[in-house]
Structures are given as structure tokens and as C-alpha cells.
Amino acid sequence: MDSTVTTGQETNVWGGGNQPLGVSYGKLMMWFFLVSDALTFSGFLAAYGFSRFKFIESWPIADEVFTHVPFFHGNYPMIYVAFMTFVLIMSSVTMVLAVDAGHKMKQNAVIWYMFATIIGGAIFVGSQAWEWSTFIKGDHGALETKGGRILQFVKADSGERASLSDFAVSIPDERVVHESKNGIWFFQEGTSTSFSLNEVVEGFKADTNILIRTELINEEGEKTLLDRQSSLAKLADAKEVVEGANLIHNEYGTRLFADFFFFITGFHGFHVFSGVLINIIIFFNVILGTYERRGHYEMVEKVGLYWHFVDLVWVFVFTFFYLV
Amino acid sequence: MAHEHKLEIFRGLVKFKSNTQKIWGVLAFLTLITAVEVVLGIMKPDILIDTLFMGMKVLNWIFIILTLVKAYYIAWDFMHLRDEKASLRRAIIWTPIFLVIYLVFILLVEADYIHNIYKDGFVSWNF
């Protein structure tokens, strides 16, 4: 058609190469990806909030769950996770410094700042792995009732938590191990707890210094402590021994807490892990001089955006899992 | 990437000489906020726990607000949204904010309803 007349001005607008938002294509797409990823995390955290509001009276208290610091014994809530938060913010800072050095085309500075960022990320992922293994291994042990509620134990005189090993008696019994020759449908042996239900119950009856603590949070914001009489009555509901946490059982309280903990910190940890990998790739590109030849360090800026986003998400995970 | 950095934070209250200085300044501020959060989380002052605002402890409100402050400075200074065009900033910020507020409102109201069913209804769960 002859009517398609192109004037110079139209070529400028529609001819390509325009940046109405003032950023390059790659950076814009990184931003859009981050927006969608932010919505994914928001969905997870909102679901967590949903379950928590549903069981607002019996949700585990984070300060009583995450109390360990590597290489130290004792009860230090918050300290280690505060350290992790600081490491991640610090690695965010070295990342901004790398981007800043990239703008000034200082190759060596970018290399060192990227290196520091990767180390920070690795420390964080390692810390999270340690946090997971501590959580999975468990602390004091507890009993689970028929309704799936958790009963924990407290020493009456000191008010401290009592571990199962503090009071459980040892009752010798024969445990027959199921072997593959005895069944056509052989499944792996399930893991057994260090004490049987019977041993814990008998030990509880023998030791008058032990009380039961239920999941219910009282008006002072603490878990409800039963007296000796009602403790013994409650004990009749117990169905099995729980040590540590997994997706089905959780000695710290409602199992949803463990599910969301694994799911959200796991998803975040996976982001950190892939962030470290991407950082390593870019790190080698910087060393090889790829961006020096390209004339700009925008790739460093793009992975930087991703890395800061990981930090941003952690700020929210920290608040909703450990603080609130 | 023509880059002049905006070097003022706190609405011009603090002005840094270079971008590098601003980064360290923001780090100091974020560390301070985290420290305040941790100290409050360990101490748990009674007055902040006993007072409720809109059905939630004041302490929890403080934590959430401090979190949003931290998020703002990470996005504005580390992700340098401060230096981007206002149109990009708005597209990125207001879309999730609107959707998240919507989702959180619906889910929390619904969860509260279910909580009341467990509490007052004839549903037995503590056995």
C-alpha cells in the first residue's frame, strides 16, 4: 500500500532501540522477573500468615525453637540468625560496591568485590544448612497425642525444659527387626526414637519433678503449663514419641510450622544458592575481561539486582519467622 | 546507563559526597535497624507486648514497620531505584504492593474466621 509513508520522526519512535523507562531490555526483564518472584514469595508468606492466624493460640514461639549457636552451648535465641542477616546485608553491600566499581570500569575492584560477595553468600547458605540440621535433629523431644498435638516437658523446680533423656526409664524389650526375607513387600525399616512411648510414660510417672507443657499459649504469651494432676491425665492421650522435626512430625509444636519453615527458607536458600552460582559465572567473566571488552559492566548490575532481591526477601523471612 | 547518583537520603537530611560513601551510610543504617530488632526481640518489653493495636501486639507492628523501612532502603539504594525513572519505579513498586495487600487481607480475614470456628464451633482438635 502506498499509504505507508514513513517520516523521520516515526522511525525514531517505532524503529526500535527506544527505552521509554530509561533502562535496557535486559535490566527491565530482570526487574519484571523480580516482581513476579516477589509475588511468589508473598504468596508463600501470606499462606504462612493464614496458617498462623488459624492456629494463633498454639503456634510455636520462635525464641524457643531457634536457640542454638554453633560451637556454643546454652540458650541464645536470635543471635545466630541476626548474624546470618548481617552476613547477607554485608554481601549485598560488596555487591553494590562491585556495581559501582563496574561503572568506573575498574576491573580489579569488581573482581575483589564479587569475590567477597560470593564468600558472603556461601557463608549464608552454609549457616542455613546448619540451621536446618539443628532443627531436624531436635532439642528436647516431645510426645504427640492422638489429635496430633505436642506435649513438651518442663522441670517443676527450675522451670527449664526437660529432655526425654532426663527422666525416661529404660525398659528392656525385644524389638524384632523386619527383614526382607520375612515379607514379599519389604519396605525400609522406619527410624525408631531413642525412647519408646512406654519408657517415657513410665519415667514420667516415676519422676514427680516433671510437668507437661501444652501447645496452648496463655495470656502472658507463654505456653500453658499443666500441674502434676492434669499432666498425668494428659499423658493418657499420648500416642508416640517425637524427636526433631520433619514434614509429618514436629516436636516444637504444630507441624505446619515445620512445613512452612522447610518450604519458605528452603525456597529462599535455593535462591541464594543459585545466586551464588550466577555470581561465580559473572565473577569468571569479569576475570576473563568479557565486560572490559564489551565496554560496560551491565551484567554485574543485573546479577546485582537479583542478589539484592535475595537479601530483600530474607528481611521479610527474618521478620515473619524469627521476630513476630 | 548514564549515571548520576542521587546522594541524599532521609529526604535530603543526610547528603553523601560519593556513591561509595552513601552505600556505607545505608549499611550503617540497616545494621542499626537490625540491631534494634534483635534487641527488642530478646528483651520483649512488657509495655509493647501488652498493648494491642488493631488486634496485634505493638511490638509486632514495630517489627513489620522496621522491615518495610529496611526493604525501602535495600530497593532504593542497593537496587538503585532512587536513580531510575519514576515510571519504572512505580510500575515495579505499586503492582506488588497492591496485590500483596489484597491477598494478605483476604487470607488473614479468612484465617481469623477459621480460628473462631475452631474456638467456638463444635470442632474438636485438642485431644
> Do B107 and B78 share a structural domain?
no
Q: How many domains does chain B have?
A: 2
B41 near A CB under 8 A: yes
CA distance A319 to chain B (A): 7
DSSP bridge pairs for A210? A155
Domains observed in chain A: 33-138+257-323 (1.20.120.80), 142-172+188-243 (no CATH)
Contacts of B1 in chain A (CB under 8 A): 24, 103, 296, 298, 301
- At residue A171, the 3 state secondary structure works out as coil
Cross-chain residue pair B99–A42, CB shorter than 8 Å:
yes
> Do B77 and B23 share a structural domain?
yes
> Do B73 and B107 share a structural domain?
no
> Do B106 and B80 share a structural domain?
no
- For an interface test with A, give the residue of B79, B81, B99, B106 to mutate (most A CBs within 10 A): B79
A90 near B CB under 8 A: yes
A116 near B CB under 8 A: no
Cβ within 8 Å of B, A 18-37: 20-24, 28, 31, 34-35
Confidence of residue B2 (pLDDT cuts 50, 70, 90): very low
Cross-chain residue pair B112–A100, CB shorter than 8 Å:
no
Chain A residue whose CA is closest to B76: A308
Can you tell me the mean pLDDT for B54-58?
83
> Do B21 and B79 share a structural domain?
yes
Cross-chain residue pair B107–A147, CB shorter than 8 Å:
no
DSSP bridge pairs for A241? A143
> Do B56 and B94 share a structural domain?
no
Contacts of A237 in chain B (CB under 8 A): 127
> Do B16 and B70 share a structural domain?
yes
> Do B74 and B26 share a structural domain?
yes
CA nearest to A200, candidates A152, A255, A159, A157: A152
> Do B35 and B61 share a structural domain?
yes
> Do B73 and B22 share a structural domain?
yes
Cross-chain residue pair B60–A311, CB shorter than 8 Å:
no
Identify residue A214 by its one-letter amino acid code.
T
List pLDDT tens digits, range B79-98: 989 888 999 999 999 999 99
Cβ within 8 Å of B, A 221-260: 221, 237
Q: Is the dihedral of CA A79, B69, A47, A222 positive or negative?
A: positive
> Do B4 and B52 share a structural domain?
yes
Other CB atoms within 10 Å distance of the CB of residue A197: 16
Annotate A229-298 with DSSP letters as a single string: HHHHHHHTTEEEEE-SB-SS-BTTS-HHHHHHIIIIIHHHHHHHHHHHHHHHHHHHHHHHTHHHHHT--H
Contact yes or no for A38/A310 (Cβ under 8 A) = no
> Do B61 and B36 share a structural domain?
yes
Which domain, by its residues, includes B26? Answer: 1-84
CA nearest to B62, candidates B49, B81, B78, B73: B49
- Give CA–CA dist B73/B82, Å, rounded: 9
Q: What is the pLDDT along chain A (324 residues), one digit of tens a residue?
A: 455 555 555 566 777 778 888 888 999 999 999 999 999 999 999 999 999 999 988 899 888 888 888 888 878 888 899 999 999 999 999 999 999 999 999 999 999 999 999 999 999 999 999 999 999 998 899 999 988 899 999 998 888 889 998 888 888 877 777 777 777 776 776 777 888 888 999 999 998 899 999 988 887 778 888 988 899 988 988 999 999 999 999 999 998 999 999 999 999 999 999 999 999 999 999 999 999 999 999 999 999 999 999 999 999 999 999 988
The ipTM estimated for the assembled molecules is 0.90
